[in-house]
Homo-oligomer: A and B are copies of this chain.
């Protein structure tokens, strides 16, 4: 079948607005967010319904071509960018962005996979509830992509990752069949929980078109603290204490190094780091009967008694709280302004976080003592964004290549030695396949390939990302 014939069939199925070929319009879909990869595609497909997705899958599959599902195109590892063959159609879910329903008594939200996270949050808010998932790119990241990468974000400590929020799914499989399992059940043990396969599969097993997510009661109170740390403050011990003393009402436990904080504009707010960096801690409660400030204060006093913090500021109003969070959330922006950074999204067991920080810094200093590290992250989850700033005058892509071949393997080796992982929440995509081959247990990788083969023997879905089918 010629490309023209395929495009004509797709236009007949999706309409002209559903098939973009004008280079002026397709360009943005073909480059990853960090501009590491540029792919080619015969067209960008923009279905408006599950049925149109089915048609697209059938037409493209019959032509022996491939598909790359794309949400908000915010992948950090090239998981939503087609290859350079020109044989993969990008399928953008951006026109499937309807909230299907909210069940306020059942605490669930049913929605299209193309809904932007911020819009999903708003739909929950409007029903007097909360979708407990928030992250830097929430204004552009879409639910399907968040599920495909099992996204984490700022409150994993308390509410978990996307997998933990998922109750139901709708997905179009590579053969065009539709898995319809949009159930709102908390418990359903009627055979294998097939939907789990799609979480973290980065669009390689099918196209997620809908989901049912858990909601929680809306927080009526928050207590937020900014805690400049003493040198070598033991983060894992501090977290254990905070979990216990707050009855797990703690939803965020974010660590920021002094260097990372220094990249952020507007430190006139008085928010400074201590010798050991700083912690941003938040508790939240939907009940006014819990004296949240007292709970936080009591716990912070215990940290102070142990000499782990130099100081401490409790946000006394929403403006102050927002300022604390702005400091944390604008670090990536600060890195960009400083010339960019090479990111490592590392996780280790929580009890190894402190050792990783010490030994990681030694490794980097031994490689080049002039390097500056921007380290911050969700220590509550054992997840560190361990970023090396691009030195002044160096070209980012060339520097990236060098770090990835010379320094990063040492950091990943350290994580592996600690039973950690080279990707905590960003995924594998196209850019980290080599790491999966290097660090992935062979049986686990083989099992992944078996699963890929079971769903997609023809390698129609996002071929080139994560793993290949067998054979």
Q: Decide yes or no whether A421 CB sits under 8 A from chain B.
A: yes
Q: Which of B247, B298, B448 contacts A191 (CB 8 A)?
A: B448
**Chain B neighbourhood of A432, CB < 8 A:** 190
**Chain B neighbourhood of A443, CB < 8 A:** 173, 177-180
Q: Decide yes or no whether A84 CB sits under 8 A from chain B.
A: no
Q: Decide yes or no whether A181 CB sits under 8 A from chain B.
A: yes
CB–CB A177/B446 < 8 A: yes
Q: Decide yes or no whether A6 CB sits under 8 A from chain B.
A: no
Q: Decide yes or no whether A428 CB sits under 8 A from chain B.
A: yes
Give residues 132-157 of A contacting B (CB, 8 Å).
149-150, 152, 156
**Chain B neighbourhood of A177, CB < 8 A:** 443, 446
Q: Which of B184, B194, B199, B436 contacts A451 (CB 8 A)?
A: B194
Closest residue of B by beta carbon distance from A424: B187
**Segment among A35-43, A261-269, A333-341, A344-352 that sits at the interface with chain B:** A344-352
Give residues 279-301 of A contacting B (CB, 8 Å).
285-287, 289-291, 294-295, 298-299
Closest residue of B by beta carbon distance from A152: B187
Q: Closest approach, in angstroms, between the C-beta of A448 and any C-beta of chain B?
A: 5
Closest residue of B by beta carbon distance from A465: B191
In the bound complex, what is the Cα–Cα distance between A106 and B247 (angstroms)?
16
Give residues 166-217 of A contacting B (CB, 8 Å).
173, 177-181, 183-194, 196-197, 199-201, 216-217
In the bound complex, what is the Cα–Cα distance between A420 and B106 (angstroms)?
13
**Segment among A21-29, A86-94, A235-243, A401-409 that sits at the interface with chain B:** A235-243
Given known A-B contacts A421-B185, A455-B450, A244 and B287 have beta carbons under 8 A apart: yes
Q: Decide yes or no whether A426 CB sits under 8 A from chain B.
A: yes
CB–CB B107/A290 < 8 A: no
**Chain B neighbourhood of A106, CB < 8 A:** 236, 349-352, 382
Q: Decide yes or no whether A248 CB sits under 8 A from chain B.
A: yes
Closest residue of B by beta carbon distance from A296: B289
Give residues 314-357 of A contacting B (CB, 8 Å).
347-352
CB–CB B185/A348 < 8 A: yes
Q: Which of B289, B422, B439 contacts A294 (CB 8 A)?
A: B289
A-B contact pairs, 9 of them (CB 8 A): A105-B351, A106-B382, A156-B186, A183-B349, A189-B426, A190-B421, A192-B200, A192-B466, A193-B199
